[in-house]
């Protein structure tokens, strides 16, 4: 089957009306014709079954590919999970070691804080005792001060007595001179006693002031020591609680570490099974792909049988559609040639394949430089063909790339927001580069009969026959006219 991908020149399609140009055959020829006709019908039925089977294999292949991708993702996820689990295990091990070290240091701090608190208690007790002793000293100083006052009073009285004695000794004259000496000594002693009493009073006052300051400071220190002791006890309680919590954290981290070890082992055991499943699915996908390729070759073979049987003179239900496709292709070839000759479009623009996307279309639609011309010329040929037979679904032309610029009006609706609806109703300006679309646009045989499942969107498929005939413009292969109909 020849394919012209570069627009090579070729002869216009023949429009032979199969089954209408034979003379009365002899009896043996009639028998051969019957066999050819039966072969054509059988080949068509076989093609239908093969295409249906190919559609099933295509769906199975799609599902298998999806499962394979999911298994690959699962396999990658399992590998990543193993890596993450290993990393978490290592991190947890480091955290456990850090927690153990922190717990050890916290226990040391707890012991040290306990000792410090005990020392603070002893120091507080000592400061309180010192304060109490200061009070005792104060009482003693008060007693000394009172005694000193008494001594000062006695000294003053003795001094007065000494003065009186000295006066009396002076009166006694020479007889009282010795007594006067004693009186002077007593007077001097009393003065010295008074002076000593004053010194003692001054020193007692200084000591009293110092003791008072000491009591004040010891009172402040006692209060601060009590506060520090209370804070130390609170800190000690917090350290004890933190120590218990960290000990609990260490136990939990040990449990988590054990669970992670089990999980890692389970993942390591699971991974080989997953790999074997992936290999099995991959083998199945490969087998389905191979079967699908062989089915496609069977489809090509059944289509060749149908074509050959028709060309040998066999008749079938497809003859009228083959003839119509060839006539319409020849008419479109004529219209395009006239448009080029009339300079409505340059020949190179007619073979333009630089398709420009149409924004906001789903499924995507595109424009070519010849699209507006085909919108003008093709409907006059394509639309009447829809009335050829009730089984006709569409009649539309595609270029060699599978681009369908102008579809039937019922399939050329304005695109909406629903891609499923668009799939069924907005089929113009689309590229159908599937097996059927490309073969229809690239075949240069007088006709090509294909059987396929048409995707109507939303998971709906319709079994169809597609007969196509080549469209040429001044000997260059432009594409093909497709006439699709139900069985």
Considering the domain architecture, whether residues 97 and 165 belong to the same structural domain is answered as: yes
What mean pLDDT is predicted for residues 69-82?
76
Please indicate, yes or no, if residue 331 is contained in any of the structural domains.
Answer: yes
Most confident of 23-32, 279-288, 354-363: 354-363
In a domain, 293, yes or no: no
| Domain assignment of residue 216, yes or no | yes
193 and 327 both lie in a single domain: no
Residues 324 and 256 both lie in one domain: no
* Structural domain includes residue 332: yes
CATH of the domain at 337: 3.30.450.20
Q: Are residues 451 and 337 both part of a single domain?
A: yes
**Lookup result for tokens 């000593």:** 196
> Is residue 458 one of the residues assigned to a domain?
yes
Q: Are 158 and 190 in contact (CB under 8 A)?
A: yes
For the chain, how many residues are written?
487
The average pLDDT across 250-267 equals: 75
Would the pLDDT of 23 be above 70?
no
DSSP β-bridge partners for residue 477: 472
Residue 446: which domain range?
Answer: 317-486
Using pLDDT thresholds of 50, 70 and 90, give the confidence band for residue 447: very high
User: Considering the domain boundaries, does residue 53 fall inside one?
Assistant: no
Q: What percent of the chain has pLDDT over 70?
A: 81
pTM above 0.75, yes or no: no
Residues 196-248: tens digit of each pLDDT: 777 777 777 777 777 777 767 767 777 776 777 677 777 777 767 777 777 77
pLDDT digits (tens, 9 = 90+) for 448-473: 988 887 766 566 777 888 999 999 99
pLDDT attached to residue 399:
98
According to the model, what pLDDT value does residue 10 have? 38
Give the pLDDT score at 292.
65
Same domain for 417 and 466?
A: yes
Any residues with CB less than 8 A from the CB of 487 and at least 6 apart, and which?
48, 391, 463, 464, 465
Residues 101 and 188 placed together within one structural domain of the fold: yes
Taking only the tens place, the pLDDT of each residue in 162-196 is 788 778 777 777 776 676 777 777 777 777 777 87
Check residues 156 and 371 and name the one with the higher pLDDT: 371
Please check the confidence at residue 38 and state whether its pLDDT lies above 80. Answer: no
* pLDDT band at residue 28 under the 50/70/90 scheme: low
First to last CA, the chain: 25
Give 420 or 106, the one with higher predicted confidence.
Answer: 420
C-alpha span between 376 and 335 (Å, rounded): 10
Query: Who wins on pLDDT, 152 or 326?
Result: 326
Model pLDDT, residue 346:
96
3-state SS of 269-328?
A: HHHHHHHHHHHHHHHHHHHHHHHHHHHHHHHHHHHHHHHHHHHCCCCCCCHHHHHHHHHH
What was the pLDDT predicted at 483? 97
Provide DSSP, 4-52. -SS--B-PPPP---TTSS-PPPPHHHHHHHHHHHHHHHHHHHHHHHHHH
Domain end marker among 226, 252, 276: 276
pLDDT band per the 50, 70, 90 thresholds, residue 12: very low
Same domain, 96 and 230: yes
Q: What is the pLDDT of residue 3?
A: 34
355 and 414 fall within a common domain:
yes
113-140 pLDDT, tens digit each: 777 777 767 777 777 777 777 777 767 7
pLDDT tens-digit readout, 230-244: 777 777 777 677 777
Residue 454 CA to residue 435 CA, distance in Å, equals 12
Same domain, yes or no, for 107 and 245?
yes
pLDDT of residue 457: 58
Tell me, letter by letter, the H, E, C secondary structure of 213-234: HHHHHHHHHHHHHHHHHHHHHH
Does 321 share its domain with 466? yes
Q: Which pLDDT score is estimated for 461? A: 76
Same domain, 332 and 236: no
The pLDDT assigned to 11 comes to: 38
Whether residues 331 and 248 share a domain: the answer is no
CB 340 within 8 A of CB 374: no
Instruction: Quote the mean pLDDT of the chain.
Output: 79
212, 243, 276 - which closes a domain = 276
CATH of the domain at 113: 1.10.287.950
- Record the tokens describing residue 257, joined without a space: 């570490």
At 237 the pLDDT is 79
Number of domains in the chain: 2
Is 146 a domain residue?
yes
Residue finishing a domain among 276, 306, 326 = 276
Q: What is the pLDDT of residues 366-397, one digit of tens each?
A: 999 999 999 999 999 999 999 999 999 999 99
Looking at the domain assignment, is residue 75 inside a domain?
no
């Amino acid at each position: 089957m020849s394919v012209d991908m570069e627009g090579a020149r070729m002869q216009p399609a023949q429009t032979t009306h199969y089954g209408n140009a034979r003379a009365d055959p002899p009896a043996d020829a009639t028998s051969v014709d019957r066999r050819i006709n039966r072969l054509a019908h059988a080949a068509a039925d076989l093609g239908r079954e093969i295409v249906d089977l190919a559609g099933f294999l295509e769906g199975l292949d799609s599902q298998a590919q999806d499962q394979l991708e999911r298994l690959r993702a699962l396999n990658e996820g399992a590998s990543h999970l193993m890596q993450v689990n290993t990393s978490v295990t290592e991190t947890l091990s480091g955290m456990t070691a850090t927690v153990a070290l922190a717990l050890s240091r916290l226990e040391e701090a707890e012991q040290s804080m306990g000792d410090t608190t005990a020392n603070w208690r002893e120091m507080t007790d000592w400061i309180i005792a010192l304060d109490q002793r200061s009070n005792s000293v104060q009482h003693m100083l008060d007693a000394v001060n009172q005694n000193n006052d008494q001594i000062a009073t006695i000294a003053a009285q003795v001094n007065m007595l000494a003065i009186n004695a000295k006066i009396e000794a002076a009166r006694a004259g020479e007889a009282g001179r010795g007594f006067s000496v004693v009186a002077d000594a007593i007077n001097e002693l009393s003065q010295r006693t008074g002076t000593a009493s004053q010194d003692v009073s001054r020193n007692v006052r200084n000591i009293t002031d110092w003791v008072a300051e000491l009591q004040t400071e010891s009172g402040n220190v006692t209060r601060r020591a009590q506060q520090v002791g209370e804070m130390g006890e609170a800190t000690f309680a917090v350290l004890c609680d933190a120590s218990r919590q960290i000990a609990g954290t260490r136990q939990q981290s040990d449990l988590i570490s054990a669970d992670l070890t089990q999980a890692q082992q389970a993942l390591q055991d699971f991974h080989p099974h997953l790999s074997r499943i992936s290999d099995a699915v991959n083998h199945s996908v490969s087998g389905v792909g191979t079967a699908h390729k062989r089915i496609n070759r069977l489809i090509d073979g059944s289509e060749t049988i149908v074509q050959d049987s028709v060309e040998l003179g066999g008749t079938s239900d497809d003859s009228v559609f083959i003839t119509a496709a060839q006539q319409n292709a020849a008419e479109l070839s004529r219209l395009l040639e006239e448009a080029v000759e009339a300079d409505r479009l340059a020949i190179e623009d007619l073979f333009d394949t630089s398709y420009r996307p149409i924004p906001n279309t789903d499924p995507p639609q595109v424009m070519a430089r010849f699209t507006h011309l085909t919108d003008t010329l093709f409907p006059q040929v394509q639309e009447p063909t829809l009335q050829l037979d009730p089984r006709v679904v569409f009649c539309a032309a595609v270029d060699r790339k599978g681009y369908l610029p102008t579809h039937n009006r019922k399939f050329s609706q304005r695109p909406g927001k629903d891609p499923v609806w668009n799939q069924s109703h907005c089929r113009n300006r689309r590229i159908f580069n599937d097996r059927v679309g490309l073969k229809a646009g690239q075949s240069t045989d007088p006709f090509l009969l294909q059987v396929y499942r048409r995707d109507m969107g939303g998971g709906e498929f319709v079994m169809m026959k597609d007969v196509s005939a080549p469209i040429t413009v001044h000997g260059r292969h432009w594409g093909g006219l497709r006439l699709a109909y139900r069985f």
